[in-house]
Structure 1
Amino acid sequence: MCGIAGFWGEGGKAVGTRMIATLAHRGPDYQGVWSEAQVTLAHARLSILDLDPRSHQPFFSADQRYAIVFNGEIYNFQALRKQLQEKGYRFRTTSDTEVLLYAYVEWGVACLEKLRGMFAFAVYDRQAQRFFLARDPMGKKPLYYTFQPGLFAFASELKALWQHPAIPRRLAAQALQAYLVLDYVPTPLSISEGIYKLEGGYYLVVDQGQPTTPQPYWSPPLPQKDVPPLPEVLSQLDTLLHEAVQLRLVADVPVGVFLSGGIDSSLVAWYAQQHSESPILTFSIGFEEASYDERDYARRVARQLGTAHHQEVLTPQKALTLVEEVFPQLDEPFADASILPTYFLSQFARQRVIVALGGDGGDELQAGYPTFLAERYTALVAWWPKSLLHLALTWAQRLLPARDDNIALDFKIRQFLRGFTGPAYQLHTRWLSSFLPEELAHLLQPEWACHSEAILETVLGPYRDRLPPSADAFAQTAFLYYKTYLQDDILVKVDRASMYNALEVRAPLLDRQVVEFLASLPLAYRRRGSQTKWLLKKLMEGRLPQDILYRPKKGFGVPLPRWLREELRKPIEAELLRPDPWFQPAIVRQLWQAHQARQANYRKLLWNLYTFKRFARQWGFG
């Protein structure tokens, strides 16, 4: 894994050097900068394949016409290399970087259809004075870009772009509103006005730095109406997963697996062990709080599979230290608190491996979230008038004691009822939200609240409008999960937490062919009654213990409700109650005091506000 940056415009090598220095955590092994005339390219390398210095980047074609900077891995590069050799290409290295460069030279945009991997890259054609940028289908690897007067620039992270003197650092009001609802800033927005994220499955062609519009090259298929025979589906999925995992075990450095004891990570560990002659290294972490701790499940799976298992405990004291490690590095507000254990797990695994396989993607592809079960009860309350919903919410909060357990009943009921306050297509997003759009006018100062009630329509509407009229409610929900929560929460969390520890995390369940197969299956193969991920569970029957397969989902929860009242109270309180130009101080104080008094579990709202205020102070937006 690596970091990339570049631009067309003034600045040269000096600015390129400053930009790539901010990405050294993504590539500690080597940093390279090249510049000529108006163009600068920079790269920070974490060596995974072909450790030879000849594979350093920026990497040039043999005729020096094309240059590439590349972040990611192309898992099928050896097959592509053979195809290119048959066409007469000669290779100087054994790296996937050189294969990717010549794939673009040979096939142009069409090369993207041939790639199986995770990537964000930029190729510069010195003769045509043209940039070609692309991001992998699911958006696993980050890529930001901006057009300013006389300047086009791109980078793996915002902090690199801010090093260019022509790029202003201004807070984007729409991004702030979206963040407060979603806990993350959704693509294509960024928190910095005028800077955008390139969407997964899109590419960008830029001639001589002139503004242009990103174009799509891939989109997940819609669920099909026909139900294929189960034996046929299981056989095909088994073949695809064997191949996806085997491809991701290829590396010139040690490889391990993240193992929580849930179905997704246990499945990945099972397939990985099938392709290893020795016990694979597996890693898990847990908590002192029993309702959040999954170490026992992970140990049982590890024993059954025969892996070399390692585990650690994230204590509240360590969490306090992690807050000071993680948040100074986050250059965009991000309120998914599971970034703390993900960072800790990455740090722990990095002591023994440089590459780890994870189970990300299973919930989105196989309807694994509790929200998909909650759908079964929507008919009970969907017809209620908003006044009755509001009354039910009020009484639920008064009558149900605020509990600190993982996904406690009071929290679930509150989130469930809040979901029905908007259009049907927003239901799942509202269930996952912190603040609701209609609450922002009370939370924000007036100058930041303009049109805030419509922020979900602004974010989700364009994705909804891409779907054909034939797409049913489930197809719409699945597509929105891929394009929002998966791309901008789950994958951002994994990328940042791992890259800050110079660890590469690979996701076999998000292999392009696996995604295309699973995404095309009807709901009947994802949810059966109260069972989510039904197909994955059927596939693993006889391979994993039944009680592991069919236990309730916990997720990577964090004991924030208690931590906010105890170990983390002082630093969080100091940040939350600090004066700022965005929020109504009385509302913030009211939320804080209610949580401290156990009148309600406001951990999501408070963590959302804290992470934004911490970000703003860190990066000079206050």
Structure 2
Amino acid sequence: MCGITGWINLASSRQSATEEEAEILRRMCDRMRHRGPDSAGFWFDEKVCLGMRRLSIIDLQTGDQPVFNEDKSIIAMMNGEIYNFRELRSDLEKKGHTFRTKTDTEVLPHLYEEYGEAMLKHLNGMFAFALWDSKKQKLLIARDRFGEKPLFYGIFKDKLIFASEPKVLFEHPCTSKELDLQALRFYLSFDYVPAPFSIYKGIRKLPAAHFLKVENSTVSIEQYWRLSFGEKIDISLEEAVEKLHELLADSVKMRLIADVPLGILLSGGVDSSTVAALAAEHSSGKVKTFSIGFREDSFDESKFSRLVAKHLGTEHHEEILSVEKVADLISDIGHWLDEPLSDGSLIPTYLLARFVKQHVTVALGGDGGDEIFAGYPMYFGHKLVKAYRMIPKFLRRNFIEPVVEALPVSTKNLSFDYKAKRFVRASEYDFAARHHLWFGSFSLLEQEKLLSADVLSSTNGDIYEHARELLSECDANDDIERAQFLDMKLYLAEDILTKVDRASMAVSLEVRAPFLDPRIAEFVAKLPPGYKLNGMQGKFLLKKTVEKLLPKEVLRRPKKGFGIPIAEWLKGRLNPFLHDMLNADRLRKQGIFNGDYVSKLIKNHEQGKVSHHKELWTLLIFQIWFDNFMQN
């Protein structure tokens, strides 16, 4: 795992890099030392400056970057891992290519030399890389299929500047820092800022499965992969189980390759338990598993992780956390979270990564299982909403909705009243809006109350149009598969994987996701929807595949998630901090939010009339980010 950065001069003529530019690049690399504490690498010529920080995982002695082809005319730097690099290297050697190291990154310049931009179709991995073809004077930067590794860029004063994290870009004197108000509206709707946007005006995220090319001072962006649900295969459930087991096992084996200590992130859910079971099956030694727990029962999964660890015979490590310890870390995330992300599991993910890093350098996790195998309750919600809409509107409006809204407020994780109220409120909206209203923070109507008149007048209120545009690319007819497609494009890439990358890289831990193997995603997408969501049971095929590997209690338990007791914290431990950060006078001076409306949200939440924990948490995270990265 690493961090990459650099720039290309878009002007037609330029002299060799100056000492001042070399110092700028060193500063940019130092800003992401946490991503790669082991070493740094640099490359300069008349057109480009490239830099990286390295966390050594494979080929510890000779795997430093940049790497080159035989005549050093092609230069590459990468953040991430190429899991099929051994097969690629073998094929390239048969074609006459020679290698200097054993690192996976070195396949990139040779693969480009052989296939050009089509090289990306050959890669199985998580990556963001930069490649410079000095003969053609062409720069290529690319991001993996699912977006496991981030890449930001912007054009400033005839320079295209890029980096693994946005805060790195601001070390370059050509860049400027300004809040993108339209991106703010996306954040308030989705809890994250979706690609290609970023919270900073003038800075963009390269979307997953895309590459950016600079040639003859022209910048272009292309998509090189799109998951297809349109072409189905005729296969029995038994055959599908056998094939999936084969693909999962191979994916885990590929991701177990490392020259440093490795472990498994074990929550006790089906996804992480599947990874742990297959890792135990294909490891020569005893597998190390790691989990954290909470004293609040509705948020704690530690008993299930212990159950799985005992069942598999792993060397299990566990840390049980107090509310006080976790809540006190809230302000710490502002030091490394350089774009607001209000996922409630961000803090426990960071705590788990910090705990795991004490023992290993690489960890495998279960991310991607819900999106690929239809594990989220929202997927069944799309089925249910069709039946709900068949109920006469006057009954829904005058009976069902008032009853649901009157349900007692619970602070438990994913409580019934929370899910029922969100389901009913979003049921009248179109597919894309409904899907995100079910888990987002602020609807369009709520934003009109929340935001200042200046912000509203300078932004586009159709906050779900971007999701609709993405959905138009999907070739699925089934609503469940359309929801999966949308989640892989947005929620998985911009929330889940961003959260894991930032939290793990903050402590220099590499996290790998075996479910995010393109072979698995492409195979499962070709199967009938009923193999994924069978009645009300999500992950039907996955559970069938691993039913002999895992305890029945794990397979049968309802999905819980990796949350924290935010609703209670905002009334208790974090209440003074909440009032300080969201003080009405402070918000009025800031000029973004309506302070009186926010004060009303806080008051209603404190009195237990309504649980506004999600909305308040989203605002709190924004303010923490704003103080750390816009004010300072």
> Of 534, 547, 550, which residue of structure 2 is paired with 1:544?
550
Superposed displacement of residue 421, structure 1 = 4.1
SS in 2 for 1:212: strand
Partner of 1:36: 45
Q: Could you list the per-position Cα deviations for residues 312-360 of structure 1 after superposition, in whole angstroms to 9, with x for gaps in the alignment? A: 1232222133223222211101100201000001111111110000000
Contact 1:257 1:269 in 2 (8 A): yes
Q: Does 1:587 align with 2:593?
A: no
Are the aligned partners of 1:440 and 1:452 in contact in 2 as well (CA < 8 Å)? no
Amino acid at match of 1:156: S
Q: CA deviation at 1:291?
A: 0.8
Which amino acid in 1 is paired with 2:200?
S
Q: Distance in 2 between matches of 1:211 and 1:445?
A: 38
Q: Which amino acid aligns with 1:572?
A: L
Quick one: which amino acid aligns to residue 308 of structure 1?
A: E
- Name the residue aligned to 1:513: 519
CA drift of 1:241 comes to 0.8
Letter of the structure 2 residue corresponding to residue 506 of structure 1: R
1:477-556 maps to which residues of 2 (within 5 A)? Answer: 477-556=483-562
Does structure 1 residue 233 correspond to structure 2 residue 240? yes
- 1:404-415 mapped onto 2 (5 Å cutoff): 404-415=411-422
Deviations 1:441-475 (A, max 9, x none): 11101121245431111x2122122234x633233
Equivalent residues of 1:32, 1:44 under 8 A apart = yes
User: What SS is found at the alignment partner of 1:185?
Assistant: coil
Q: Is contact 1:261-1:548 (8 Å) kept?
A: yes
Q: 1:333 to 1:386 in 2, by over 3 A?
A: farther
- In 2 relative to 1, CA 473–291 (structure 1 residues): closer, same or farther, beyond 3 Å? same
Whether contact under 8 Å (2:294, 2:300) holds in the other structure is yes
Which amino acid in the other structure matches residue 97 of structure 2? Y
Verify: 1:119 aligned to 2:127, yes or no: yes
- Whole-Å separation in 1 of the counterparts to 2:516 and 2:618: 28
Shift of 1:226: 5.3
* 2:156 maps to 1:148: yes
Classify the secondary structure of the residue corresponding to 2:6: strand
Q: How does 1:212-231 map to 2 (within 5 A)?
A: 212-222=219-229, 224-225=231-232, 227-231=234-238
Once the two structures are TM-superposed, the CA of residue 287 in structure 1 deviates from its matched residue by 0.7
SS at match of 1:49: coil
Within 1, Cα distance between the matches of 2:619 and 2:598?
8
* Secondary structure in structure 2 of the residue aligned to 1:286: strand
157-166 or 11-20, which moves further after superposition? Answer: 11-20
User: Post-superposition shift, 1:393?
Assistant: 8.9
Please, what TM-score do these two structures have when normalized by structure 2?
Answer: 0.94
Counterpart for residue 406 of structure 2? 399
C-alpha distance in structure 1 between counterparts of 2:399 and 2:420, whole Å: 10
AA aligned opposite 1:522: P
Which of 154, 164, 173 in structure 1 is aligned with 2:181?
173
Tell me the equivalent position of 1:163. Answer: 171
Q: Could you tell me how far apart the structure 2 residues matched to 1:287 and 1:375 are?
A: 32
CA contact (8 A) 1:438 1:453 kept: no
Distance verdict in 2 for CA 1:497–1:364, change over 3 Å: same
Return the offset for 1:567.
1.4
Paired residues of 2:152 and 2:165 also in contact (CA < 8 A): yes
How far apart, CA to CA, are the structure 1 residues paired with 2:233 and 2:432? 24
- How much has 1:101 moved relative to structure 2? 2.1
In 2: Cα distance, 1:192 partner to 1:508 partner: 32
Q: Secondary structure at the match of 2:34?
A: coil
The equivalent position to 2:570 in structure 1, one of 552, 564, 567, is 564
Match for residue 196 of structure 2 among 188, 208, 227? 188
Task: For residue 280 of structure 1, report the CA deviation from its aligned partner.
Answer: 0.3
CA separation of 1:561 and 1:390: change in aligned 2, threshold 3 A: farther
Paired residues of 1:223 and 1:475 also in contact (CA < 8 A): no
2: distance between equivalents of 1:392 and 1:355? 53
Aligned to 2:111: 103
Contact 1:13 1:34 in 2 (8 A): no
Q: Which residue of 1 aligns with 2:305?
A: 298
2:145 to 129, 137, 142: 137
TM-score by length of 1: 0.96
CA distance in 1, matches of 2:401, 2:471: 32
Aligned equivalents of 1:422 and 1:384: distance in 2?
Answer: 16
**Are positions 1:360 and 2:370 aligned together?**
no
Deviations 1:224-263 (A, max 9, x none): 5555211111111111011000000000001100111110
1:66 is matched with 74
CA distance in 1, matches of 2:131, 2:391: 54
Query: Deviation per CA, 1:530-577, whole angstroms, max 9, x where unpaired?
Result: 211000111111221212101111011211111111112222221112
What is the aligned-residue RMSD (CA, Å)?
1.9
Separation in structure 2 between the aligned mates of residue 620 and residue 235 of structure 1, nearest angstrom: 52
Q: Distance in 2 between matches of 1:148 and 1:497?
A: 29
Q: Rate the CA distance shift 1:3–1:201 in 2: closer, same or farther, 3 A.
A: same
Partner of 1:261: 268
**1:397 deviation in Å?**
7.0
Cα distance change of structure 1 residues 529 and 472 upon mapping to structure 2, 3 Å threshold: closer
State the aligned residue count.
618
- Distance (whole Å) between structure 2 residues aligned to residue 376 and residue 471 of structure 1: 13
Structure 1 residue 390, shift from structure 2 partner: 7.2
SS of the residue corresponding to residue 449 of structure 1 reads helix
Q: Using the alignment, how far apart are the partners of 1:498 and 1:178 within structure 2?
A: 25
Q: Which 5+ residue runs of structure 2 have no aligned equivalent?
A: 10-16
After superposition, the Cα gap between the structure-2 partners of 1:232 and 1:148, relative to the gap in structure 1 and judged at 3 Å, is same
Distance 2:532 2:245 in 1: 16
Contact 1:264/1:359, CA 8 A, preserved across alignment: yes
Deviates more, 1:516-525 or 1:483-492: 516-525
Corresponding residue for residue 14 of structure 2? none
- Asked if the contact 1:443–1:587 (Cα under 8 Å) also holds between the matched residues in 2, the reply is yes
Deviation at 1:375, TM superposition (A): 2.8
Gap runs ≥5 in structure 1: none
Match of 1:6 in 2: 6
Q: Measure how far apart 1:55 and its partner are.
A: 2.3
Deviations 1:570-592 (A, max 9, x none): 22221112322110001111111
Amino acid at match of 1:93: T
The CA distance in 2 between the partners of 1:385 and 1:151, in whole Å, is 59
Q: Secondary structure at the match of 1:152?
A: strand
Task: Determine helix, strand or coil for the equivalent of 2:564.
Answer: coil
Aligned CA distance change for structure 1 residues 398 and 541 (closer, same or farther; 3 Å): closer
Q: 3-state DSSP class of the match of 2:213?
A: strand
CA deviations 1:26-56 (Å, max 9, x no partner) are 001112233233421010000000011x322
Q: Does 1:204 align with 2:212?
A: yes
Aligned 8 A contact 1:145 1:154 in 2: yes
> How many Å separate the matches in 1 of 2:442 and 2:394?
19
Structure 2 counterpart of 1:586, which letter?
D
In the other structure, the counterpart of 2:606 is: 596
Q: Contact 2:374–2:480 at 8 Å: present in 1 too?
A: no
Aligned position for 2:320: 313
**Alignment partner of 1:274 out of 272, 281, 300:** 281
